[in-house]
């Protein structure tokens, strides 16, 4: 081997180990960076050359720096995080909604009991005008309780719709960044660069986006990712298609004024609400459409039935002024929707409690009407199911059923979320153990590369000494 060959081999060794040390240092520096995948320097030996028929080694070179990545685990995380995002937001929102419904339901139940009990007290002494005033007061309190619970449910629905809007904005922001990264990665690779950090960032964004909406991810021959969500393409190469929300008319489970999701992939926005099946976006809409909206319908049904039953009986009674066919509550007609919002006393009763009828005749001691209204509380007049069915529940039982149904939904979603979280945590732990940075292993590699670096430097020193000796012989 010529002296120059020794210097060349030593120089290549220094360069290769320096690159390996740089990669290891970068791993250590990014040990706590979210989404970072450990990188590894691939070293290969230089092809030997023949000297007098004998193969002589030419040293080492860096083939490339690769990131330690498992695409199968990435796909599993994308799939499982979709369900996690949906279940997490439903468990979170329904837990808050359950506490609110329980409190307001308890207050409404107390108001219902007080209203009918006051009518029972009135039936025992119909000649006492102060008891009619008490009945009017409890009826007004009942109206306030219906309004308060309706307001709480409506606020919950509006909060979910606002969250829908926020999630769509987040999806658009991350989608644009992924499209930009697609372009940047292709450009970097065309220049011969290895954009490992950019690919890590793109994978992290895709995993995060999967929690927001159900995703199908494909990769073309150039390494660009295409994202399909809700049967609509949101990212294709360097192109990103915006999503938007708008309030729409009632349809199926969806109440009027609820937020719907649209995609702007062509000239006319196309609605994809029904196609969004998973992720946080789907979870928000499912909590709204399958829990809060049915609860509001249930509450409206209770308010409507109480209004109808009390009004039917009160219209048959005769007040002290001799007038019959007077309603006790404000007439709602046949419109069940928003009954809890419009629930109120009839203007005549609100103005003068003396107009409350207590009997079916004008006789002074007739208390049959007051007792009949009080007995409405124990009448089976409401369906057991939210969507109809056999009428076999009293007012109180129906209200308790509303509250308990919310609690059951919350418990189911919470249990499913805990199970799904354990699955995702297991996958994350596996990804971290495979692709994450282990500081102890990196420290060992650092010592190994440093040792070889020093040895390569000594080899070059030996070559330099040999060259000096040869030059001195010429002198």
Of 13-17, 102-106, 242-246, 257-261, the range with the lowest mean pLDDT is: 257-261
Q: Write the pLDDT tens digit of every residue in 62-83.
A: 889 999 988 899 999 999 999 9
Residue 211 CA to residue 204 CA, distance in Å, equals 11
Predicted TM-score of the model (pTM) = 0.82
CA angle (293 as vertex; 379, 310 as ends), nearest 5: 25
User: Measured in whole angstroms, how far is the alpha carbon of residue 256 from the centre of its chain?
Assistant: 22
Share of the chain above pLDDT 90, in %: 53
Q: Dihedral sign for Cα 258, 264, 265, 269, please.
A: positive
Q: What is the pLDDT of residue 89?
A: 92
Q: Is a pLDDT exceeding 70 seen at residue 1? A: no
Q: Is a pLDDT exceeding 70 seen at residue 455? A: yes
Q: Are 152 and 99 spatial neighbours (Cβ–Cβ below 8 Å)?
A: no
**Residue 7's pLDDT band (boundaries 50, 70, 90)?**
confident
Helix axes 3-29, 439-474, angle to 10 degrees: 160
Q: What is the pLDDT of residue 363?
A: 77
Query: C-alpha distances in angstroms, 256 versus 107, 157, 205, 229, 402?
Result: 27, 11, 34, 25, 21
Q: Write the pLDDT tens digit of every residue in 402-426.
A: 888 888 889 999 999 999 999 999 9
**Residue 468's pLDDT band (boundaries 50, 70, 90)?**
confident
Residue 247 CA to residue 88 CA, distance in Å, equals 25
Q: Is a pLDDT exceeding 80 seen at residue 252? A: no
With CA atoms as reference, report the closest residue to 155 among 216, 107, 208, 101: 101
Q: What is the 3-state secondary structure (H, E, C) of 152-179?
A: HHHHHHHHHHHHHHHHHHHHHHHHHHHH
The more confident residue out of 475 and 141 is 141
Strands, sheet with 258-263, edge to edge from the N-terminal-most edge strand: 243-248, 258-263, 270-271
Query: C-alpha distances in angstroms, 261 versus 84, 164, 407?
Result: 21, 9, 28
Q: Are 329 and 310 spatial neighbours (Cβ–Cβ below 8 Å)?
A: yes
Alpha helix positions (H), 30-61? none
Q: What is the pLDDT of residue 96?
A: 87
**Residue 253's pLDDT band (boundaries 50, 70, 90)?**
low
Q: What is the pLDDT of residue 131?
A: 92
Q: What is the pLDDT of residue 387?
A: 45
Q: Write the pLDDT tens digit of every residue in 156-188.
A: 888 898 899 999 999 999 999 999 999 999 999
234 φ, ψ (degrees, to nearest 5): -110, -25
The stretch 35-56 carries a mean pLDDT of: 83
**Residue 475's pLDDT band (boundaries 50, 70, 90)?**
low
Q: What is the pLDDT of residue 425?
A: 93
Q: Write the pLDDT tens digit of every residue in 93-119.
A: 889 888 888 899 999 999 999 999 999
Contacts of 38 (CB under 8 A, 6+ apart): 27, 67, 68, 435, 436, 437, 438
Q: Dihedral sign for Cα 52, 54, 60, 61, please.
A: positive
Residue 475 CA to residue 465 CA, distance in Å, equals 16
Q: Tell me how crowded residue 256 is: count the other CB atoms within 10 A of its CB.
A: 10
Alpha helix positions (H), 191-292? 196-212, 279-287
47 secondary structure, DSSP code: P
With CA atoms as reference, report the closest residue to 301 among 102, 150, 151, 405: 150
Based on the number of CB atoms within 10 Å of its own CB, is 464 exposed (0-12), middle (13-18) or buried (19 or more)?
A: middle
């Amino acid at each position: 081997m010529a002296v120059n060959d020794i210097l060349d081999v030593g120089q290549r060794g220094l360069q290769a180990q320096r690159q390996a040390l740089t990669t290891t240092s970068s791993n250590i520096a990014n040990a706590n960076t979210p989404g970072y995948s450990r990188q590894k320097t691939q070293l290969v030996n230089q092809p030997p050359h023949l000297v007098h028929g004998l193969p002589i080694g030419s040293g080492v070179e860096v083939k490339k720096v690769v990131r330690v990545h498992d695409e199968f685990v990435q796909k599993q995380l994308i799939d499982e995080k979709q369900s996690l995002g949906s279940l997490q937001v439903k468990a979170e929102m329904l837990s808050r909604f359950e506490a609110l419904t329980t409190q307001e339901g308890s207050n409404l139940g107390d108001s219902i009991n007080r209203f009918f009990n006051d009518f029972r007290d009135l039936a025992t002494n119909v000649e006492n005008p102060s008891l009619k005033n008490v009945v009017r007061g409890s009826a007004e309190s009942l109206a306030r309780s219906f309004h308060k619970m309706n307001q709480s449910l409506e606020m919950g629905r509006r909060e979910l719709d606002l969250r829908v809007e926020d999630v769509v904005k987040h999806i658009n922001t991350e989608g644009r960044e992924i499209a930009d990264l697609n372009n940047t990665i292709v450009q970097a690779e065309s220049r011969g660069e290895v954009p490992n950090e950019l690919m890590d960032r793109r994978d992290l964004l895709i995993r995060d986006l999967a929690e927001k909406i159900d995703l199908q991810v494909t990769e073309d021959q150039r390494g660009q990712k295409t994202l399909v969500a809700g049967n609509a393409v949101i990212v294709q190469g360097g192109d990103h298609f915006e999503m938007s929300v708008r309030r729409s008319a009632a349809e199926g489970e969806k109440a009027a004024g609820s937020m719907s999701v649209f995609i702007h992939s062509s000239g006319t926005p196309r609605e994809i609400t029904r196609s969004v099946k998973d992720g946080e976006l789907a979870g928000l809409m499912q909590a709204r459409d399958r829990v809060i909206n049915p609860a509001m319908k249930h509450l409206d049904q209770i308010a409507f039935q109480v209004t109808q039953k009390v009004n039917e009986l009160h219209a048959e009674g005769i007040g002290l002024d001799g007038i019959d066919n007077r309603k006790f509550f404000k007439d709602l007609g046949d419109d069940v929707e928003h009954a809890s919002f419009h629930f109120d006393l009839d203007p005549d009763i609100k103005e003068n409690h003396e107009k409350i009828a207590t009997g079916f005749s004008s006789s002074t001691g007739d208390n049959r009407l007051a007792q009949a209204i009080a007995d409405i509380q124990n009448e089976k007049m409401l369906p057991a199911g939210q969507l109809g069915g056999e009428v076999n529940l009293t007012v109180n039982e129906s209200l308790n059923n509303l509250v308990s149904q919310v609690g059951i939904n919350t418990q189911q979603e919470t249990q499913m979320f805990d199970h799904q979280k354990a699955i995702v945590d297991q996958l994350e732990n596996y990804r971290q153990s495979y692709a994450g940075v282990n500081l102890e292993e990196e420290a060992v590699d650092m010592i190994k590369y440093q040792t070889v670096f020093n040895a390569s430097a000594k080899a070059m020193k030996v070559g330099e000494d040999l060259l000096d000796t040869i030059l001195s012989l010429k002198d």
